[in-house]
Structures are given as structure tokens and as C-alpha cells.
Amino acid sequence: MNGRTLDRIAFVASGADDAREARAKLSERYGGVPLDQADVVVALGGDGMMLLTLHDVMGRVVPIYGMNRGSVGFLMNDYREDDLPERIAAAERTVIHPLTMRAKDTAGGVHVSKAINEVALWRQTYQAAKFRIDVDGKTRLSELICDGVLVATPAGSTAYNLSAHGPLLPLASPLLALTPISPFRPRRWRGALLPDRAAVAIDVLEPEKRPVAAVADNTEFRDVRRVEIALDRKTSLVMLHDPGHGLEERILAEQFGW
């Protein structure tokens, strides 16, 4: 941690019993401060709790050290009660940037939200959605018929993007993944890798007949007609991982089936 002192620790937990019990034990052992006074946050739960905590501290550059008390825990460290201050002091920093989503709905409303993993658009009814995709003002796909489409960061490439058969991106790569969800036409289109400086605009074709929802991580807006997506380089988020178990290593190991 480059000699930085992280004396004031805030403990946050998901609603799971294991996570709440861990928070009580750790708070009793190490003390704890409110989230807005913390030098570092210890998040207890699964990957969803890590994402929620990152959103809660967005704009403050407070590092988060997660410990797995959930199910998947890809973004988390192993849970252990002993030597917590020493583990935090020795942890490796991973700095990521979120996406900004600007969604316009069919009633004329405009909604802005941040996404750490991905921005996803998907159909609201039984009918397939139709999209036009522009990159930096140029139409790259005039009509995509599918269940949905998403734009993922490298940190989010292991989440929904991977389940939709999108590519895994090394954490340091200056890329975004543009991935279709169950594409029908063009049937063989499997998505694209975009430079992370790209501005992506996705227009919903026939939005009244084929309504679409847009989701930035866990924030959803329905009946959208246009969604603009770009990386927010001004906002930095910091995760802490035990040496040798950082997010870069986990993404690499995932590609070899670990």
C-alpha cells in the first residue's frame, strides 16, 4: 500500500447470515468507523456486495478490501479473521474506471447512471429487440436483432459478458467488450472489441412495438429508445487483493479454466 496508513476501517456486509456474523466478529475485534469516515472499507459478502460497496464510495477513492462470505466471490479475498490490518497493508491495488450510461426513454426522460461491470440492454417482452449501433458517431451495425446487447469493462468481462459468450479482457487492456445476447440477425455476429476511449450509442428500433430496458449494473430504466455509453476516466475505484491473488491474475486464470 506504498506506506499509506489505513487505520480507520469500516465494515459492511450483505444480508447473508455468514456476512453479518463476520461483520460482528471483525467489528468487535478491530473496531470500526462509519463508511464516510473510513480510510479503507472491508466488504463482506459476494461479488454483488463488492459492486454495491464500490458504488457507495464512488467519487471518494476509498480502497475496498473484500472478503468472501457469499457464493461466487470472484472479486473477493479469502475470508480470514486473523491479521486483517497486516493483510490490508500488504494488499495489491487495482484501479478501475466505471462506465457512464445516458439513457433516453420513449417519454422524453433522460437517466444517467454508472456501471462498474456492464451496461446491458434487453427486451422487455417476448419479441426480439432491434438495435442500431454507432461507435464514435459512425454506424457500425444498422440492424441487430437479438435478446439484448451489452458493453462491458475489463473488470466486468468475467460477469454477465462471459455468460453471454463475450471475451475475457485483461484488466490493464484499453478495451471494452461489445457483446450481443442471443443474436438472431446477423446470426454469426459475436460482438466486437472496442478501444476504451470509444463512445457507443445504441438506438432501439421500433421501441413502442419492441420495448427495451437498459441496466447499469443493478440500476434499471425501462422503455428506452437510445443509450449512450462511455468510460468515465475521471472516476477511479480501488480494490485491494492479497498478493498473488489480484484481479489481473484471476482473469488470467479464468481463461485456463481455474
Q: Which set of grid coordinates corresponds to residue 209? A: 412495438
- Residue 41 phi/psi, 5-degree rounding, is -115, 130
Establish whether 216 is an annotated binding residue.
no
pLDDT attached to residue 92: 92
| Burial label, 221 (beta-carbon count in 10 A; 0-12, 13-18, 19+) | buried
Residue 164, pLDDT above cutoff 50: yes
Cα separation, 198 vs 226, in Å, equals 17
Which residues constitute the domain of residue 207? Answer: 99-231
Cα separation, 72 vs 56, whole angstroms? 21
Quickly state the pLDDT bin for 220 (edges 50, 70, 90).
very high
Number of domains in the chain: 2
Nearest CA to 67 among 39, 92, 97, 87?
A: 87
78 with 107, same domain: the answer is no
Summarised one tens digit per residue, pLDDT across range 189-219 is 999 999 999 999 999 999 999 999 999 998 9
pLDDT tens, position by position, 81-93 = 999 999 999 999 9
**pLDDT number for residue 96:** 93
Tell me: do 85 and 109 sit in the same domain: no
Q: Answer yes or no: do 65 and 144 share one domain.
A: no
Q: Is 32 annotated as a binding residue?
A: no
- Is there a domain that residue 2 lies in? no
Tell me whether residue 160 is annotated as binding.
yes
- Check whether 30 is labelled as a binding-site residue: no
Is 4 contained in some domain? no
Choose, from 18, 39, 47, 223, the residue flagged as catalytic: 47
Question: Where residue 129 sits, what CATH number does that domain have?
Answer: 2.60.200.30
Compute the average pLDDT of residues 229-250. 87
Determine whether 47 is an active site residue: yes
Q: Is the pTM higher than 0.85? A: yes
Average pLDDT, the chain: 92
On whether both 220 and 132 belong to a single domain, the answer is yes
